[in-house]
Amino acid sequence: MLRGMAFEMLEEFGDAGLGEWYEDRPKAFHLRRRLSADEAKRVGDAVDCRGTREGMDRFRAIEGMLHPAAIQLAKEELQHDHPRRTPPQQEEK
């Protein structure tokens, strides 16, 4: 259920062809995707802001758009300080 929900929510965002990776955790499924060129121009570099005031502010701004099942999971993630993760490097083609 969580995997499908994550892919559905990111359907219109990012560019999976530029890079996509996921982490299946006991309480959550994390899907990350590189931004498209147009998205990167609008928002700048992607930043992991979990565990910060900015992260909570961003969450509050979109909370009403989230699937109800995702809200509690997101709150749990935002309350903890996470090590900054670097996405895996893509292999050269």
| Confidence band of 76 (pLDDT split at 50, 70, 90) | confident
3-state secondary structure of 32: strand
pLDDT in tens, 11-65: 888 899 999 998 888 777 888 889 899 998 998 877 788 888 888 898 999 999 8
| Confidence band of 10 (pLDDT split at 50, 70, 90) | confident
The domain segmentation of the chain, as residue ranges, is 1-46, 47-82
Q: Which pTM was predicted?
A: 0.50
Cα distances (angstroms) measured from residue 45 to each of 30, 34, 48, 49:
19, 10, 10, 12
